[in-house]
Amino acid sequence: MSSDLKVGLLWREEWDNPDPSGRLTETCKLRDVFAAFADLGVNAQPVVYSDSAVETVREQLLGLDGVLVWVNPIQNGLDRSRLDPLLREVADEGVFVSAHPDVVLRMGTKEVLIETASLSWGSDTRVYRSAAEFRDRLPRRLREVETPLVLKQHRGMGGTGVWKVTMAGPDSVIVQHASGGATPERESVDEFLRRCDPYFTGAGLMVEQPYQERLPEGMIRAYLTHDRVVGFAHQYPRGLMPPGQDDRPTSKNFEPPSAPAYESLRARLETEWVPAMQATLGLDTEVLPVIWDADFLYGPQDDAGADTFVLCEINVSSTFAFPEFAIRNVAHATVERMKTKARTRPPRASMAAG
């Protein structure tokens, strides 16, 4: 296949520093993705983003047919407040963007756990939309339930802003942060509530889910291109493991979508959960990201002894690493979306003249 299409692979410069030798497409984290596009005859270009280079990046993106984005929502004190408007702007000019910022907000934040809680991947999920509501309702919830609760901020990564909380006395809790291998600690309810105040800044919120006692058995990550599963990984998240059970393997082993161990999960995703999520969120298949993943924890076994699965989160902003054998699917899906966009996009010359 040969093509005049041009695609950009965009990441923040702090995520993968430019190679001073100039061989960036061969040495960066996404080198296999560059190679997959080269095999298809598609010109793939690095787009190294920083908040100080918005105008330069805009000019580069408007010269492309599409861009795939790997930028975390919050990392090292940086956010996407300048990047997302830029991506919306170039998408409006006819550039295919995956994942589009509006799609990220629909399916890639913890709010998706609330929106889709009625699906059979859901659990007893609740939301706190203000610090005042959190202060009023959470202490009562902690006294009502007999098992730990997990609280998650609206947007984050690496377990930041995710807490396991258990009532420990009339006015105290045992809390464990999911980030950085934190261990449980005891503090007053008021202290914990104050600690969570920053999560409600702006459009912030917190989502509550019941703690899944089978966490030591690991988490299953399903990778998808649009609405089709392209791989799996079974892994053991370090955050929130019970004391004495944090010695699980840290490696991530990718398995194909046909892996027998995940046959049931794949079927549920492709025939039930993803279509239901799309209907709930109002997302057509074509706007789903070319690579995204959904994390599942093991729920209680059903009456027949079969596993159930609970959605933990959906990752859309920066899905990496993902299975090498899925890269060709990602490249093919991107090419198809760019072709569709190209049929309706104004000529680049006229856009530049405008």
C-alpha closest to that of 197 among 155, 157, 139, 153: 153
Q: Give the bridge partners for 176, in sequence order.
A: 164
Token pair, residue 328, equals: 């060709």
Q: What is the mean pLDDT of residues 334-350?
A: 77
Give me the CATH code for the 126-210 domain, please: 2.30.30
What's the pLDDT at 348? 56
The model's confidence at residue 262, banded by pLDDT at 50, 70 and 90, is very high
> Which of 14-18, 23-27, 57-61 is the most confident on average?
57-61
CB atoms within 10 A of CB 90: 20
Give me the CATH code for the 6-99+329-353 domain, please: 3.40.50.20
CATH fold for domain 214-316: D-amino Acid Aminotransferase; Chain A, domain 1 (3.30.470)
What is the CB-side half-sphere exposure of residue 192 using CA atoms within 13 A?
27
Fold agreement between 126-210 and 214-316: no
The type of residue at 325 is F
Q: What is the pLDDT of residues 169-214, one digit of tens each?
A: 999 999 999 987 788 999 999 999 999 999 999 989 999 999 999 9
Residue by residue, DSSP assigns 173-195 as: EEEEESSTTPPPEEEEHHHHHHH
Q: Is the pTM of this model over 0.85?
A: yes
Domain coordinates in residue numbering, the chain: 6-99+329-353, 126-210, 214-316
Are the beta carbons of 98 and 337 closer than 8 angstroms?
Answer: yes
With vertex at residue 157, the alpha carbon angle to CA 154 and CA 161, rounded to the nearest 5 degrees, is 55
What's the pLDDT at 352? 38
What's the pLDDT at 343? 74
